[in-house]
Structure 1
């Protein structure tokens, strides 16, 4: 397999960039039609306690963690990346139907566990397709474009979910998943299999000058790369702090406005995603010129500020306004993470394994914080939970500033 150089990208036969746009847009619709809506629905309509909800979140998240890194390694090896996405979409569709029909503990646990496992296919698989289709040249802009379409999809599904929840019932929102899963599968299969450079897709391009693919490194390459270990720790802390914030805000709004619970959650999501979209485009256009680290520091620093601001007022307008800051932090994190991993794993052939490892750390952080935040809220209230999460975010800022190097290549196109 001949690997394209940074400055001479290979034309991909039959590949239309709009297909990759559609994949990112529609996958956001599939994943966004459950997420925080399930939390609000179970608490406000089905009488679940926050502790029980946190327990389900933790168990399902931790169950999925066991397969995240192996899934990344499998994506490195397989040439059936499109089929992996389509299969994961089918499982998500079935899980959403189960949630619509049953709301007992064990059914919800089974459905969310399946969703957690297959949901981690999408990030590495789409990033692998992107690298295998686009190459190194223009990768920063393409990753920003991927993130922008993902955020646009999240805005659309939030608005649609608000309409469906208001016009029908909160549970009807979950039926949007099978519909969008079919469309996402069609978009994925519209990418020609022959257009994907599978060696490049796993980051095996160190030998670009010789025209040969680099052999895959062992799994130990992840531990030997100190910047990668630091990045994993920061990703854990970021998501430990960030993951429960939107659900907590949604629960506060739902208790204050029970008849508008789904609509309020949609407003929060739209507010953040509307900011993430231009942020992702900006990051894609500036990451090669400004570097990765200074942009990432801004994203990390926003999180503790946001946590403190949530405690200053419980007015619905204020909470939604503060949620706009999520668009800055999460927008930067989502656009830059696959790019930083590509920088660090170049030539190892372990790009998707590394993405699985980062997803594992993110999943651990999000799963543990869901239970922790629920327990703090039940015992001390929402403000105490926000402040505790803000403290974890502050640690993430410090670690990243001190220990994480710049990963931008010395020469960029």
Structure 2
């Protein structure tokens, strides 16, 4: 194992940079679409919510097949490359032909591409470091992704302010090329195919169980419901803030949206490392509860003031909630699919559940905002968040096994740093 990990240092470094640049084309500038549609194209909240719903549903449909494909194929890097190409094409189409149908189609392609990124990165990570190094590696991935989000949001805000909203989408296309380069720098022979699809460190081959056996695990179904509720409450909050900022007189909506993203991501940069380290030594559920607790508080706080600086400051809670959820979700799925050979399929299925929650969130929030105002929409999301907290607290069991050997953990974590 030491020899295999030592030979993978170049691949781990490439994985580091892949997480940084991938944030540029996925999480870092995505919310600027709402600002672009609202301030540049003058769409109303219902239209914005509808296009977000359409693209969200496309992502939902793609998630589970994407996970199954990632489990089956060895060409993990090629999946990243193809998805990045789709992102670049969609970004250019969004500004070249800014009609509802084209933007809906382009954003749907973006969502389909996005269905491959998360599970593939997690699969590559597991294939490179094994289960003993997974906690810290996922935390490191989250930290690097958050750092990439900070840079991307800052650059996107400056581009939107000084060049124009359309320039942001050209930036996304350019960063897609960097993602392709980093993906190809990961050496395919360093990725343990057996581990990357959910095998165990001690197995010499993958023992693939039936999919029906995997879903007979009650814990996985409960976690899927938790994921739906969390993202049902969470997904629409930042787009709603973006719409409010776009309607403010004075200032720059792009810069304020950039500040919202940067505020959350700056919290997530150290949080990813801290959560990864803590998760390697303690149980999952107490850490995860903090993410669910932050969400309803955030929803209520948004209703207290429409001051731009106040709205930006509330994003600190987004950094806590999303930062913890991003790390812990993958670790819980890895716990529940150990030895099944369906790690990526489960990721895709949970991703589909998340997509359902996010799509419903954007549609409901847009409708409520149009009919009753933004405060009513935020309170609706806060109520759903409170329900998610209660459900997770009472029904979700602990998933971490205490039987894992830890003899090589320090060696693996050192390699991942």
TM range (shorter): over 0.9
Q: Choose from 126, 149, 155 the match for 2:144.
A: 149
Q: Choose from 338, 341, 360 the match for 1:349.
A: 341
Task: Say which SS state the counterpart of residue 149 (structure 2) adopts.
Answer: helix
Confirm or deny that 1:62 pairs with 2:60. no
Q: Choose from 4, 7, 20 the match for 1:13.
A: 7
Confirm or deny that 1:75 pairs with 2:86. no
Confirm or deny that 1:215 pairs with 2:211. no
Kept after mapping to 1: 8 A contact 2:131/2:200: no
- 2:219 corresponds to: 227
Deviations 1:149-208 (A, max 9, x none): 0000000000001111111111111001121111111111111111010010011227x1
- 2:25 corresponds to: 30
For 1:83-122, list aligned pairs within 5 A.
Answer: 83-122=78-117
For 1:121-140, list aligned pairs within 5 A.
Answer: 121-140=116-135
Kept after mapping to 2: 8 A contact 1:147/1:334: yes
Structure 2 portions without partners, runs of 5+: 407-417
Structure 1 portions without partners, runs of 5+: none
Q: CA deviation at 1:310?
A: 0.8
- 1:198 corresponds to: 193
Q: Choose from 177, 193, 196 the match for 2:172.
A: 177
Kept after mapping to 2: 8 A contact 1:33/1:177: no
Task: Say which SS state the counterpart of residue 137 (structure 1) adopts.
Answer: helix
Within 2, Cα distance between the matches of 1:156 and 1:283? Answer: 22
- 1:317 corresponds to: 309
**How many pairs does the alignment contain?**
404
Q: CA deviation at 1:259?
A: 5.1
Kept after mapping to 1: 8 A contact 2:295/2:382: yes
For 1:283-302, list aligned pairs within 5 A.
Answer: 283-302=275-294
Kept after mapping to 2: 8 A contact 1:148/1:280: yes
Q: CA deviation at 1:411?
A: 3.2
- 1:398 corresponds to: 390
Within 2, Cα distance between the matches of 1:66 and 1:253? Answer: 32
- 2:156 corresponds to: 161
- 2:366 corresponds to: 374
TM-score by length of 1: 0.95
Kept after mapping to 2: 8 A contact 1:9/1:134: no
Q: CA deviation at 1:220?
A: 1.2
TM-score by length of 2: 0.94
- 1:307 corresponds to: 299
- 1:254 corresponds to: 246
Within 1, Cα distance between the matches of 2:259 and 2:3? Answer: 41
Within 1, Cα distance between the matches of 2:141 and 2:28? Answer: 19
* Cα gap change, 1:384 to 1:330, in 2 (>3 Å): same
Within 1, Cα distance between the matches of 2:95 and 2:30? Answer: 13
Q: CA deviation at 1:34?
A: 4.4
Where in structure 1 do 4 or more consecutive aligned residues deviate above 4 Å? none
